[in-house]
Structure 1
């Protein structure tokens, strides 16, 4: 494993952990509250449930290295929607009442990197699919 592979593993695990914790937080805080927030932004309330499941399950999948490209594309989509619906008006660093979109932009960049890069090192998906291809 070279340094680029090691970097991709670190990004994959940290991004997965970040999204997992955000998804878990949505479930613990009550998805009804999150749905209400989404509706206040003009989005359908049920999308809060979809986002929470993608964050929770996708976070676990990313930590394990299963479906990294697909999950990363889903995370990138979530970050784009978050930036343009909730955060853009506050600016990059925020406006004193709300955080800016700097975190979402960093997570978006990480997700795009993982969607494009070879992140098979230390991934369960690589082990599963490589052993299935051998049979």
Structure 2
């Protein structure tokens, strides 16, 4: 059991850092430019803001272990859309002009795993909910 939790912690923190940095870069690079690019590939421009916020705030939440399953599910959806809408045409390893979808597929797999299994080790959620469970048992 503990090995699984250590593995989930590593995935959760790594995924959180990756998405936090990607969300931050969208804002630092000019979110308006990202919105324009979204429009150019047939996605509503406002979705750039939604994606960037989910990546930025979701990355922090994953690092802290706050809402891991929900955040991971949202990130999985983002990765599915990224693979299908942007990366699939370039192939698995890319076509020499653009990157392939191998990295996105790895992020998708990590997100799906955390969405299904969660991660309790050093997670704020676990600290909060275990404290509440303990308090309920003490008052009963």
Q: TM-score, normalised by structure 2?
A: 0.93
Equivalent pairs counted in the alignment come to: 135
Unpaired segments ≥5 residues, structure 1: none
Q: After TM superposition, where is structure 1 displaced by more than 6 Å over at least 4 residues in a row?
A: none
Q: Is the contact between residue 35 and residue 47 of structure 2 (CA under 8 Å) also seen in structure 1?
A: yes
Unpaired segments ≥5 residues, structure 2: 136-140
**Correspondence for 2:29:** 29
User: 1:80-119 counterparts in 2 under 5 A?
Assistant: 80-119=80-119
Query: Which structure's CA Rg is the greater one?
Result: 2
User: 1:32-111 counterparts in 2 under 5 A?
Assistant: 32-111=32-111
1: CA distance, partners of 2:46 / 2:38 = 9
Task: Kindly report the root-mean-square deviation, in angstroms, between the aligned alpha carbons of the 2 structures.
Answer: 1.0
1: CA distance, partners of 2:57 / 2:27 = 12
1: CA distance, partners of 2:118 / 2:76 = 17
1: CA distance, partners of 2:37 / 2:101 = 17
2: CA distance, partners of 1:109 / 1:60 = 19
Give 1:118 deviation, angstroms: 4.0
1: CA distance, partners of 2:90 / 2:75 = 21
2:119 aligns to what SS in structure 1?
A: coil
2: CA distance, partners of 1:34 / 1:118 = 31
Per-residue CA deviation, residues 84-119 of structure 1 (Å, 9 max, x unaligned), is: 111000000001000000110000000001011141
1: CA distance, partners of 2:6 / 2:35 = 37
**Correspondence for 1:126:** 126
